[in-house]
Amino acid sequence: MDFLTILQVLDASLRFATPLLLACLAGLFSERAGIFDIGLEGKMLAAAFLSAAVAAMTGSVWIGLLAGIGASVALSLIHGVASITFRGDQIISGVAINFLAAGLTVVVAQTWFGQGGRTPQLSGDGRFNPVDFPGAVPGRELADAGPLAQLYSELLSGHTILVYLALLIVPLTWYVLYRTRFGLRLRAVGENPAAVDTAGISVVGLRYAAVLICGVLCGIAGAYLATALQAGFVKEMTAGRGFIALAALIFAKWRPWYALYACLLFGFLQALALRPDLITSVSGIKVQVQLLDALPYILTVVILAGFVGKAIPPRAGGQPYVKER
């Protein structure tokens, strides 16, 4: 296995990890504020559909991105009203959002485009295109380039702008949560909302802010799937990524940098499924492609079953807050 092949696997890992990372950070904000969100999958799916549909109709991927974010935020508000205002069960609300998105996206897609639940293929300004850094070596010439040029051109350059945005959001999330007053209050709401309320700070306001941030990040994640990683929407295209993101969040113990590492691990497993020949060449063992495809989901089950160590969620997570009178 040569250096360029390793870089190609890492490049694919980063692309696959991007929607997981955005969804994981979305869940991080929500759950740090005490709102469990099983509906990450549904929000991503709704955002993927509407972003691709609007981009196909307008020819502008940026308008599509805004539409996808709007769809996700709308579902986040539904979840917020159900779980914060009406103090409903947060798990049931999230599951309902997943069912709503799964059914509605296909029905609306068929009504609008008549292509079996798909949107038209996106091209040109209707999708996010790779950003090539200055001096990057074209792909056909990479094999003859040096290691540094290959690293720069294959791994660092050539991603869409949403990939770089997702990576920038990681330190931004860390800074907001651990270096700002808003982040301190947000974390306090997830641990002891009564103490926050006693200090004269609105628990409801902070939790709604967290839910809205979650909606924005899920919207970007869904739009990335349909307008960057692929060129259009297809039925159930999220393929369980919202649940994988939740598993990554638990694996990361609700910390931003650990979330990045966990999502890169899941992305790496997805990238390996595209190159089963690499495992064969290294180990001499022929591995079934179906097994490689299932690895991220197997790891998700392992994490959720608690076999990777004890992860303690925010103490007030999942509990509606009732103001004392």
The DSSP secondary-structure symbol of 131 reads B
Tokens in use for 231?
Answer: 């060129």
Q: What percent of the chain has pLDDT over 70?
A: 94
- Give the model confidence (pLDDT) of 153-179 as tens digits: 999 999 999 999 999 999 999 999 999
The predicted model scores a pTM of: 0.94
- Give the model confidence (pLDDT) of 90-149 as tens digits: 999 999 999 999 999 999 999 999 998 899 999 999 999 999 999 888 877 888 888 899
pLDDT at 23: 97
The DSSP secondary-structure symbol of 321 reads -
pLDDT at 322: 78
Q: Is the pLDDT of residue 307 over 60?
A: no
Domain map (residue ranges) of the chain: 3-129+137-239
Q: Using alpha carbons only, what angle is made at residue 130 by residues 275 and 128, rounded to the nearest 5 degrees?
A: 110
- Give the model confidence (pLDDT) of 51-100 as tens digits: 999 999 999 999 999 999 999 999 999 999 999 999 999 999 999 999 99
* Tokens 């296909």 sit on residue: 106
Instruction: Transcribe 60-108 into DSSP letters.
Output: -HHHHHHHHHHHHHHHHHHHHIIIIIS---HHHHHHHHHHHHHHHHHHH
Show Cβ contacts of residue 49 under 8 Å, excluding neighbours closer than 6 positions: 71, 105, 108, 109, 119, 222, 226, 233
